[in-house]
Amino acid sequence: MNIAVLLSGGVDSSVVVHLLCEQGHRPSLFYIKIGKDDAEYMDCSAEEDLEKEIGHYFPEIFKASADCRYNNCTHRHEPGCAVREAVEQHYISESRYASYLNMLEVVDLHREYWDNVAAYAIEKVSRGFTPNPDVMCNKLIKFGCFEQQVGRHFDFTATGHYATTVLQNGKTWLGTALDPVKDQTDFLAQIDYLQVSKLMFPLGGLMKQEVRDIALKAQLPSARRRDSQGICFLGRINYNDFVRRFLGEKEGRIVELETGKILGTHRGYWFHTIGQRKGLGLSGGPWFVVRKDTDENVIYVSHGYDTELQYGHEFSMQDFHFITENPWEGIKDEIPVTFKIRHAPGFIGGRLWQDETGYRIVSDEKLQGIAPGQFGVVYDEAAKLCIGSGEIRYSTPPNPQCPPYRG
């Protein structure tokens, strides 16, 4: 079996390689480069972690890499590469350098990433929505562009995602992971049938602590490395700084929804999302963002943890995408399902309805911070199969006083 493994620089993908090798496979290793060589804000910190992983076996190369001009240098073609300079000056042997390059193939997809994912995120934010770049990266880059350029030459592509594949009635379905806390099927809910049919998830049947234990026992360099957080391509700057580079700042009012009182100012609605609590700069909190008026650049907030204005019970989705097929074809009545509206442990019960505009979820419990632009991810009633997802565009206002969402 010919298997390609996508490495991320973290413990999970390292354990994937270890497990496959233990099973007798000899997988080919790939890293998708999405950071730009000349742009700090597109510098992926995971690339440094990956270098440490490979550098464990090449200490002289890892030492020289500290002097490279760019933090995400692959030591192949970038200007100011200290490793290639050391090879030219015979401080590092050419044979060792060749072995280093052959151990891992770097697939440069930074242009494709910018055109398909980063630009998508900026466009959504500019319209007041809350995008999910990780979902689109999996669909368009990791299992899209990579598959077209490299993955098509392999039988399977393996990753460190916490998910499974399930063969049912002769078809492959995306299944949830054993560990409900680490389950990552919500990040994969926009992939298609051809993609899910070629994927392997060796960690799907393991708990996270088991993965850590395997890494420690095997003495993998990433064994104690913390899990990555946030969006990979941002590197050392935060999300707001990235958005500011493209959308700038524009002062607007922060208004208490219940009273209409002006509480302060913000620097642009695009820096805020529904359900947000931190970063508002208001005293006497907690304050939560409950609505945005993008036409007037106004952020509406509500006070307290228990205010009903934070919550909704239903939302609509547009452009709903089924991964394998629609298992409810022809059903007109409500369908019991489970779902997620953000990456979080566990699943929420509810009912799925189809109307003239698309699909609508009515939740069994109150939902805090339903953010248009995010993906509503739908599972079967038992939360075993991920059926698909759609972009949230409307949530029922929890109170008639709420102004309509303008986005």
Query: For residue range 382-403, what is the model confidence (pLDDT) as tens digits?
Result: 999 999 999 998 766 544 444 4
The answer to whether residue 407 scores a pLDDT higher than 50 is no
Q: How far is residue 338's CA from residue 335's CA, in Å, rounded to a whole number? A: 10
Fold annotation for 249-303: SH3 type barrels. (2.30.30)
pLDDT for position 400: 40
Separation between Cα atoms, residue 274 and residue 291, nearest integer Å: 6
Question: Which distant-in-sequence residues (6+ apart) come within 8 Å of 22 by Cβ?
Answer: none
Mean pLDDT confidence for 184-206: 97
User: Would the CATH topology of 249-303 be identical to that of 308-395?
Assistant: no
In this model, does residue 234 exceed pLDDT 60?
no
Residue 238 or 267, more confident: 267
Separation between Cα atoms, residue 178 and residue 155, nearest integer Å: 25
Residue appearing with tokens 């707001």: 240
Between CA 155 and CA 62 the distance in angstroms is 32
- Domain-wise residue ranges, the chain: 3-234, 249-303, 308-395
Task: Give CA–CA dist 368/350, Å, rounded.
Answer: 15
Into which CATH architecture does domain 308-395 fall?
Beta Barrel (2.40)
Give the residue numbers annotated as catalytic, written as ranges. 137, 232
pLDDT tens profile 75-124? 888 899 999 999 999 999 998 888 777 777 889 998 999 999 989 999 99
pLDDT at 306: 72
Q: Which top CATH class is 3-234?
A: alpha beta
Q: Is the dihedral of CA 37, 40, 44, 48 positive or negative?
A: positive
Considering only residues 397 and 356, tell me which one the structure prediction assigns the higher pLDDT.
356
Cβ-Cβ contacts under 8 Å for 63 (sequence gap 6 or more): none
96 or 252: which leads in pLDDT: 252
**pLDDT value of position 220:** 82
> What is the rounded average pLDDT for all residues in the chain?
87
DSSP H helices in 119-222? 119-126, 133-137, 146-149, 193-197, 208-217
Report the pLDDT value the prediction gives residue 321, as an integer from 0 to 100.
97
Rounded to an integer, the average pLDDT of 56-68 is 80
State the pLDDT at residue 62.
79
